[in-house]
Amino acid sequence: MSLTRMRQKTMLCRNLSKNIVVAENVEPARTMFERMMGLMFRPALEDGKGMHISRCAAVHTCFMRFEMDAVFLDRNLRVLRVIHQMRPWHFSPWVWGADSVLELPGGSAAGVLSAGDTVSFS
């Protein structure tokens, strides 16, 4: 996929409950391949970036080289749970009611997202 095409499909994520920007460049992972690959094999996840994985209620950090925050969202994009700074080679628990997961650089969800908040993507 070209860099231009990737940039065109990134989204802005806002926390509507706190009226703040969470990440400026969030990649959607919608296809089976995109969801399967996720952030694996990338050298890092830069500040302001993230990935939104649809149809997902648990994640892992196998083959990742960096920590990440996992934000579990329900169908209405309400935050159900935030797991801060998941280290490489770890598995999250299954989050009941989760419909998608927002993956962010480790530590970036602290003070920005918490259970009960609602986010939007545009």
Q: How far apart are CA 22 and CA 14, in angstroms?
A: 5
pLDDT of residue 30: 87
| pTM exceeding the 0.85 threshold for the entire prediction | yes
Superfamily of the domain at 12-121: Protein of unknown function DUF192 (2.60.120.1140)
Strand 79-86 versus strand 68-73 pairing type: antiparallel
Angstrom distance (rounded) from CA 104 to CA 25: 10
- The helix/strand/coil state of 91 is strand
- Are the C-beta atoms of 74 and 97 separated by less than 8 Å? yes
Residue 92: beta bridge partners? none
Cβ–Cβ under 8 Å, residues 35 and 29: yes
The pLDDT assigned to 54 comes to: 94
Tell me if 37 sits within 8 A of 66, measured CB to CB: no
The model's pLDDT over 50-78, given as tens digits with 9 standing for 90+, comes to: 999 999 999 999 999 999 999 999 999 99
pLDDT of residue 5: 43
CB neighbour list of residue 53: distance below 8 Å, 6 or more residues apart: 29, 35, 38, 59, 100, 101, 102, 103
- The domains of the chain are located at 12-121
8 has a pLDDT exceeding 70 = no
